[in-house]
């Protein structure tokens, strides 16, 4: 997921943004509210991809009526 950052703010916080990118974060840099560039990792790392996937999974609605323990048991059963 991309976070939007204004150009002036990006210039002031460039080192901080680069640290975020190294951890898998992605930024869209805008000028006067218009997106002009994306700051992304140069090579998609497995760790960055995993973080993005986990973030997307957390946003999914929980299934009602099935306890977490039941789901874990189903997963274990499927692995056997």
Give me the residues paired with residue 34 across strands.
31
Sheet with 26-31: strands ordered across: 2-6, 26-31, 34-39
2-79: which CATH architecture? 3-Layer(aba) Sandwich (3.40)
Residue 78 has pLDDT above 90, yes or no: no
Pairing of strands 26-31, 34-39: antiparallel
What is the model's pTM? 0.53
Mapping DSSP to helix (H, G, I), strand (E, B) and coil, where does residue 38 land? strand
Mean pLDDT of the 63-71 span? 82
The confidence score (pLDDT) of residue 79 equals 82
């Amino acid at each position: 997921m991309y976070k939007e950052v204004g150009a002036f703010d990006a210039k002031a916080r460039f080192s901080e943004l680069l640290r975020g990118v190294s951890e898998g974060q992605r930024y869209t840099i805008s000028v006067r509210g218009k997106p002009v560039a994306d700051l992304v990792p140069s090579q998609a790392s497995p760790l960055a991809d995993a973080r993005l996937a986990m973030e997307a999974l957390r946003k999914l609605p929980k299934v009602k009526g099935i306890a977490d323990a039941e789901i874990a048991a189903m997963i274990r059963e499927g692995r056997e």
